[in-house]
Amino acid sequence: MIHLRNIVQPNLVLGGDVLNLRLEVLQERGIRGIILDVDDTLVSAYSRELSPALRQWMDSLRPHLKIWLVSNNLNQPRIAQIGDDLNLPYLWGAGKPSRRKLRVAAEDMDLPTNEIAMVGDRLFTDVIAGNRLGMYTVMVEPMVNPGDPPRRHLLRTLEVRFFRLIGAFSG
């Protein structure tokens, strides 16, 4: 149980979406690279439209951090479109909590894993994968885009409840 607790607890739990993650917070911790989940982290799973605010946020990080997108989505065209649109390298079908594709991104960044932040909306995939590699893990609230149908993010909610219940997650 202690092992599970360590592996599920993010280093930082943001009370809002990814736009609330500030460069200074990362730099204070010596972070020089960032791996971003895509669906519900950068863009809602129902949308392909990247908000102007997201583009602006990404441009503010770009000069200071190495950035990769690593998605579990098996829809390669979707992830490619978002990656190309943001002009960022991407990996799809990552199978997080598997470490495999996070390692590929980390090797390309040529940074030690403790200088890389793994940022995503899910405990069971993003946070566990990042923690397993000793990355700085950040959990964000799901991104909501205009025109999204009402969603309850059921899996995410169940995960959070379950891990809280067994004392493995606080935040």
Rounded Cα–Cα distance for residues 133 and 152 (Å) = 30
133 DSSP 8-state letter: T
Neighbours of 121 (CB within 10 A): 24
Build a one-symbol-per-residue string for 50-89: x at contacts with Mg ion by CB under 5 A, - elsewhere: ----------------------------------------
Build a one-symbol-per-residue string for 11-40: x at contacts with Mg ion by CB under 5 A, - elsewhere: --------------------------x-xx
Q: How many residues bind Mg ion (CB under 5 A)?
A: 5
Residues 137-166 that bind Mg ion (CB under 5 A): none
Rounded Cα–Cα distance for residues 125 and 166 (Å) = 18
By Cβ distance, which residue is nearest to Mg ion? 40
Residues 100-129 that bind Mg ion (CB under 5 A): 121
Rounded Cα–Cα distance for residues 150 and 164 (Å) = 25
Rounded Cα–Cα distance for residues 106 and 126 (Å) = 15
Binding site residues, Mg ion, CB under 5 A: 37, 39-41, 121
